[in-house]
Structure 1
């Protein structure tokens, strides 16, 4: 077989493979560039350092002489789960609790750039770190061991609050406040991490909320970039997460705002 024919057959196979991909595989393929950016770009690391530098400054400006709390999300806020997302993309797999739990129990998540330093800065300056995550409570031991190994401070049953019955974090945040703490800083990668106002809301409502609270970002609320998943996707349409992969692909396509080409 000559070289040109081999190349042509290879290209044809690639096209056939792309066309024969299932809707679920196509959904995962669309996320690959975001994962690549998250794992490889200097820009992503610059943004995490920028976020945590802002967080340090805001903490010093806002802390009181009383009990100061910094509330943070975990996944894609303090620790990096992109290898799980990469596994999903390569294998055409959607999220499942079974595979997610297996990933968390492997205790292989790494710290985001600047995250451990920020947490220790707070602890060394009179504050307490509260890790409020929607990892389920059965993952407590694995999560605690992972965080301790990375060097995060104050990892115990008082400060690590995982999901029991609801993904709404309001009750856990209020639990911290009820102990007499002032919440000085909140950090997350999803607008839902900052309150329940935006749970299950559309992206239009989410943007309106951000604009109404613009002065809080960088001052009280620190948000980390996450192009891999989050409320922005479910906010594309009502009941998005209940749609079939084929229907989700159509919603994604329709959400684009393209140039006319003219």
Structure 2
């Protein structure tokens, strides 16, 4: 009798436990399995792009790889008197006997403006000229990995380093100061051709750089060009997928030899091409247009 008591007590406790759980197990399945509502998070199209730009080692390695590859080929290009990196439509002056030069874009090519993009994300805002100008005037943009070593190498070998940028003319002084602060060679103010630079007789389309490339071509044989946008190399008349491909098609063999394209997932002409270049479209509609542009197979 004493030996069976623990068994009896255990059975009673088990039955009590089952009874206490019965209301929960008997609840409707929909109630029992309902998950807590997911937290609402406002999507930011640029968050991952800026995070990658600022934190991914792969970003820095791509820049270093690109500039090192260019440097390894630069002296060979210098010796080849038939070597020129201007597109045919911009080479309006014969390059024979001209001094050598390289052309580089500034923003996201030799200077890193990702802190400005990060500020926009934290504020939930979008690009505007006033905030952009204020950032440029801080003169705090860092040099992109490999840019200083390459440009100093070029300058050391008598190759002019020319910067073509779409920064507004009132940012010229701040831009030149920022370039010098990080060690990028600037031979004179003429080495920087900003948005206000004009070439008589040349019709500039919007912010396209064709006239400024032609201006450089009047004085230099261009060995290489560097940029993060197609417009840094060639004029893109129609900013659509087809128009962009057509502009680049004649020069694909130049990639990695005469032209060096750097990654910029944070902004650029590639983005408005996804929503018909209609910046007046509300932000959420632009977001949906970009989603629709994604390939799923």
TM-score (norm 2): 0.75
Question: Separation in 1 of the partners of 2:237 and 2:158?
Answer: 32
2:295 maps to what in 1?
Answer: 257
Q: How many residues align?
A: 237
Tell whether 2:155 aligns with 1:131.
Answer: no
Instruction: Output one character per residue of 1:155-189: Cα deviation in whole Å (capped at 9) or x when no partner.
Output: 5221011111741111111111112x101100000
State the alpha-carbon separation in 2 of the partners of residues 102 and 200 from structure 1: 31
State the Cα distance separating 1:239 from its structure 2 match: 2.7
List runs of 5+ in structure 2 lacking aligned partners: 1-35, 82-97, 198-205
Cα deviation, residue 138, structure 1: 0.1
Indicate whether 1:121 and 2:153 are aligned.
Answer: yes
Moved more, 75-84 or 170-179: 170-179
Aligned to 2:230: 191
Contact 1:188–1:224 (8 Å) recurs in 2: yes
1:144 corresponds to which residue?
176
How far, CA to CA, are the matches of 1:243 and 1:61 in structure 2? 48
Q: Distance in 1 between matches of 2:295 and 2:168?
A: 37
1:43 counterpart SS class: helix
Structure 1 residues 1-262: aligned runs within 5 Å:
15-16=39-40, 18=41, 21=42, 26=43, 29-64=44-79, 66-164=98-196, 166-179=206-219, 181-196=220-235, 198-259=236-297
SS at match of 1:63: helix
Contact 1:144/1:155 (CA < 8 Å) preserved in 2? Answer: no
Distance 2:249 2:217 in 1: 26
Task: Tell me how far apart the structure 1 counterparts of residues 237 and 140 of structure 2 sit (CA, whole Å).
Answer: 29
Runs of 4+ with deviation above 3 angstroms: 207-212
Contact kept in structure 2, 1:202 and 1:237, CA below 8 Å = no
Distance 1:238 1:176 in 2: 32
8 A contact 2:275–2:290 mirrored in 1: no
Counterpart-to-counterpart distance in 1, 2:138 and 2:39: 36
Kept in 1: contact 2:176–2:186 (CA 8 A) = no
Question: CA offset at residue 111 of structure 1?
Answer: 0.2
Task: Confirm or deny: 8 A CA contact 2:100 2:159 kept in the other structure.
Answer: yes
More helix per residue: 1
User: How far apart are 1:139 and its partner, in Å?
Assistant: 0.4
* 1: CA distance, partners of 2:60 / 2:277: 33
Computing the radius of gyration from Cα coordinates, the structure with the larger value is 2
Which structure 1 segments of 5+ residues have no match?
Answer: 1-10
What secondary structure sits across from 1:15 in the alignment? coil
CA contact (8 A) 1:144 1:156 kept: no
> Which one is further off, 216-225 or 50-59?
50-59
Report deviation, 1:126: 1.6
User: What is the deviation of 1:195?
Assistant: 1.8
Task: Measure, in 2, the Cα distance between the counterparts of 1:199 and 1:224.
Answer: 21
Superposition RMSD in Å: 1.9
